[in-house]
Structure 1
Amino acid sequence: MADHSTSLKRAPLREQIAKHLLEGVISGRWKPGDRIVERQVAAELDVSQLPVREALRELAAMRLVTSAPNKAARVRQLQLKDVFEFYSVRAALEELAATQALARLASDVSPLEACHSAMSDDASKYDLTAQIRDAINFHRTIVRAADNKLLLDLWESLGVEVWTTLSLRLFRVDLRANADDHEPIIEAFRRQDPNVGRLVREHVLSYGPSEEILPRF
């Protein structure tokens, strides 16, 4: 195991521990149903159990783990409905962000172009992990450009990295198509299209399951 303690001491513990746990879920170190034991994580990272507990609460808020008093947290077994609900909320937030960011990004789309170019390179190398990172940076650029801190905080709280990784592996395996379908968004910002919010919302929703395939009860 790599020594994580040095980097942890340079930033807020809860945030860094949450990132460490998220990476563990994404990489498959902890699979659905696995226990994440506070004491073990604290010992591994050379920290107290309190910030580990706080980080696990953060993951529970993202609906990635379940926990109960006096019991170890467990990685949730996610369902299609979970993924659909995530994309529904994310799409609504990004629609608002794109609308608020329109004037700012229209004057300089180069940050979006850089992300898109990186995604295309990732597709050529068939590097899904890198493409997920660059795609998230593309969307984070839009959300940040809205200059709305509450909106950004809500978006970040969704656990975008984890949910995007899960959905791309399930529903979007064509990396070239994943890169190419970001081009219309760049063009919409460039020409200051007033419908850019709707375009971004539909784009985001296309990455999750459709409502029609969800189980009915």
Structure 2
Amino acid sequence: MIELYRLHKLYKGEVPALDDVNLVVGKGEFVFLTGSSGAGKSTLLRLIMAAEEPTRGQIIVGGRNLARIDHKGIPFLRRNMGVVFQDFKLLPTRTVFDNVALTLEVLGTQAKDVKKRVDAILERVSLGHKAGAFPPQLSGGEQQRVAIARALVGDPAILLADEPTGNLDPQLTIEVMDLLTACSARGTTVLVATHDHTLLERYKKRTVRLEAGKVAEDRP
């Protein structure tokens, strides 16, 4: 599902953010990306979702070489991805319901199905009672859960999550991680960037540790 070959990313005037990364992630596989701050975790996710271009190397997502996709093709690529950003990227003037529904609207889902699916996913992240609220009225943890609901509602083939539990208490962290692992069990390929070692210990999934932009360890 995701293949990275000899991947490099160098920002002008800086040390390499990624340095000769090779990684293959299969369909339905759940992988933790871990490593210290600045190790390259977020950069790797941005490259996979075509938010940035590599300095050199190949990225193949769902059998498609990203180097051969022009800018017009990127939105189509992302229709099959769910992404949870560290800074949420919620629309402040749209309600919680509307923020989550936006994913389905882009996919052309019928209105009656949009309501059913958005209501269901908001209940799964314990935010059904906040459907009419606006993001500025929510706590950081609640905004995080809205972002996760938005990423999951379209049943994406690939889910990329950058520190998805960073603003959640321990109980909600477990609930959200259980949602992500359930997605993987249903066939979604899931990559979760985290520095939370308690998650690695609890879920016992494949773990790729980055160090100074290199793959230092790939543990089943």
* Range class of TM-score, shorter chain: under 0.3
| TM-score between the two structures when normalised by the length of structure 2 | 0.26
Identify the structure with bigger relative contact order (alpha carbons < 8 Å, sequence gap 6+): 2
Structure number with the higher strand fraction is 2
Structure number with the higher helix fraction is 1
Look at both structures and tell me which one has the larger radius of gyration over its CA atoms: 1
| TM-score between the two structures when normalised by the length of structure 1 | 0.26
